[in-house]
Amino acid sequence: RPGWPGIINAYRDRIPLPEGVEVVTLHEGGTPLVEARHLSELTGCRVLLKVEGANPTGSFKDRGMTTAMTLALANGSRAVICASTGNTSASAAAYAARAGLTCAVLVPTGKIALGKMAQAVAHGCRILQVDGNFDDCLELARKTSAEYPITLVNSVNPIRIEGQKTAAFEVCDVLGRAPDVHVLPVGNAGNITAYWKGYQEYAADGVIPALPRMFGIQAAGAAPLVRGEPVPAPETIATAIRIGSPASWGGAVAAREQSEGLFEAVSDEQILAAYKLLASREGVFVEPASAASVAGLLLTSADGRLSRGSLVVCTVTGHGLKDPDTALRGLPEVSVLPVDPGAVASALELG
């Protein structure tokens, strides 16, 4: 969007940053809200996709990282640290590079999608692989930042939530209201907390007349909120949400309860089916974790918990290019053709 100034400048009066700060931005936010015609037909609802893969580093994390890095810089921090399943680290690395801060990322060994690792390498952050899962990495990052002069930029840092809530503002600004239902994937639960905060602020100020119901979708092998207790060894193909002990547990539960929403779990098979459907029928290529929201949409529509006729927004949180390995799994054998139109025609069965 030409002229879009990034989320801090777009919503300056709603973001609690000190006056006159130097804003660290890559003009994140202002992402498309796309009509999903096939999903609308399947569910009998009007379904829109909030395409967060269109952010500068390819995920919604940029909304929270512009605020986190702006505040870190204003506070005189020299270095930042985060734990990550890949997107937070990619975003932190990019914004730290822009701010001139040193960035360290703690990631679970072997469980980061290829594109995300490529971003961390390209932006030149310190990548520390940990022999543990995301939950272990987060504990380590928290302890390190408590004891050493390094700022934590995970979503337990409240300024991250203040940035991420702007996605809810954008949805309302486009629709002129909140949707009836907002569906999103849940891992560490910062994002559902942030959306709910955004919707509540708009409702309190009379910008929207009513609040949406929040549907939080987790992967079946990493569904602590659905089960009601932490999962010690989370596992799912959706590595971004492979989290057993969400830091914003309370925020997610409040969003579900206050909005009369729900938590639901979807299997890896359901995630992959939604992933393929989004790419092949809607033209929207997302990473597996993002497809969890759409798998949850299909599940709750099929069993009647999502009423027909609802206005639904599904957040798809990250770009498909983040995880090329999943896209290329089961790649059909591609034959090599001679430079000959006849060969192309016969390969395409054009007769």
The Cβ of residue 214 has, within 10 Å, a number of other Cβ atoms equal to 26
Distance between CA atoms of residues 142 and 162, nearest Å = 20
Pairing of strands 33-35, 46-51: antiparallel
- Own/partner contacts of 95-98, CB < 8 Å, gap of 24 or more, are 95/24, 95/26, 95/62, 95/65, 95/66, 95/68, 95/69, 96/69, 96/123, 96/125, 97/123, 97/124, 97/125, 98/24, 98/26, 98/69
Which stretch in 16-24, 81-89, 196-204, 295-303 sits in contact with ligand F0G by CB under 6 A? 81-89
Binding positions for ligand F0G, 272-301, rule CB under 6 A? 287, 289-290
Least distance (Å) between residue 29 CB and ligand F0G: 16
The answer to the question of residue 225 lying near ligand F0G (CB under 6 A) is: no
Least distance (Å) between residue 350 CB and ligand F0G: 39
The Cβ of residue 161 has, within 10 Å, a number of other Cβ atoms equal to 24
The answer to the question of residue 65 lying near ligand F0G (CB under 6 A) is: no
Strand ranges, E, within 13-124: 33-35, 46-51, 79-83, 102-108
Binding positions for ligand F0G, 155-194, rule CB under 6 A? 155, 185-191
The answer to the question of residue 59 lying near ligand F0G (CB under 6 A) is: yes
Least Cα distance to 146 among 155, 135, 157 occurs for 157
Distance between CA atoms of residues 97 and 349, nearest Å = 50
Least distance (Å) between residue 130 CB and ligand F0G: 13
Which stretch in 84-92, 94-102, 119-127, 172-180 sits in contact with ligand F0G by CB under 6 A? 84-92
Cα radius of gyration rounded to whole Å, the chain: 20
Nearer Cβ to ligand F0G, position 46 or 116? 116
154 DSSP 8-state letter: S
Whether the CB-CB separation of 287 and 323 falls below 8 Å is answered with yes
The answer to the question of residue 87 lying near ligand F0G (CB under 6 A) is: yes
Q: Which residue reads 């037909």 in tokens? A: 41
Nearer Cβ to ligand F0G, position 46 or 48? 48
Which stretch in 36-44, 86-94, 117-125, 143-151 sits in contact with ligand F0G by CB under 6 A? 86-94
The answer to the question of residue 133 lying near ligand F0G (CB under 6 A) is: no
Binding positions for ligand F0G, 227-266, rule CB under 6 A? 240-241
Among 31, 88, 151, 166, binds ligand F0G (CB under 6 A): 88
Pairing of strands 151-152, 181-185: unpaired
Nearer Cβ to ligand F0G, position 46 or 199? 199
Query: Per-residue DSSP letters for 289-349?
Result: HHHHHHHHHHHHHHTTSS-TT-EEEEEE-BBGGG-HHHHHTTPPPPPPPPS-HHHHHHHTT
Nearer Cβ to ligand F0G, position 46 or 319? 319
Least distance (Å) between residue 189 CB and ligand F0G: 5
Least distance (Å) between residue 266 CB and ligand F0G: 13
Nearer Cβ to ligand F0G, position 46 or 320? 320
Nearer Cβ to ligand F0G, position 7 or 241? 241
Least distance (Å) between residue 46 CB and ligand F0G: 23
Q: Which residues bind ligand F0G (CB under 6 A)?
A: 59, 61, 84-88, 155, 185-191, 240-241, 287, 289-290, 317-318
